[in-house]
Amino acid sequence: MLEPEQKLKARYLRTPSLGALFFTQGWALGARLYFWFILSLIPAVGIAALILCVIFGRRWSWKFGSWSSWKEFQSRMRILDVVAIFWICFLMGLYLYFRF
């Protein structure tokens, strides 16, 4: 049986990553998933990398990212999600500026 803290960690790791969805390359670098960063640059493979990073990215980052603590990992994931949201807002603002 998992302890309550372990259950929260497991749930957090299973949560899809907004950062990976909206800003795959930047998220992959920030999450220390360098192999997936390189794959995301290849046009034909980029869509698959995006989907896989959204679904499994947090788990992979925790497992392979050599994080010193859970708190550091969680903090970085929050920062990457916020950066991705700002990135999308910036792109939408740019689109609206040039569109109208």
Note the pLDDT of residue 3. Answer: 78
Cα dihedral 69, 83, 9, 48 sign: negative
**Residue owning tokens 């998933």:** 33
Calpha distance 79→83 (Å, rounded): 6
Mean pLDDT (whole number) for 67-74: 96
**The whole model's pTM is what?**
0.85
Residue 17 per-residue DSSP state: P
**What sections of 31-69 are H helices per DSSP?**
34-40, 43-64
Give me the pLDDT at residue 2, please.
Answer: 63
Domain locations in the chain as residue ranges: 15-99
pLDDT at 1: 58
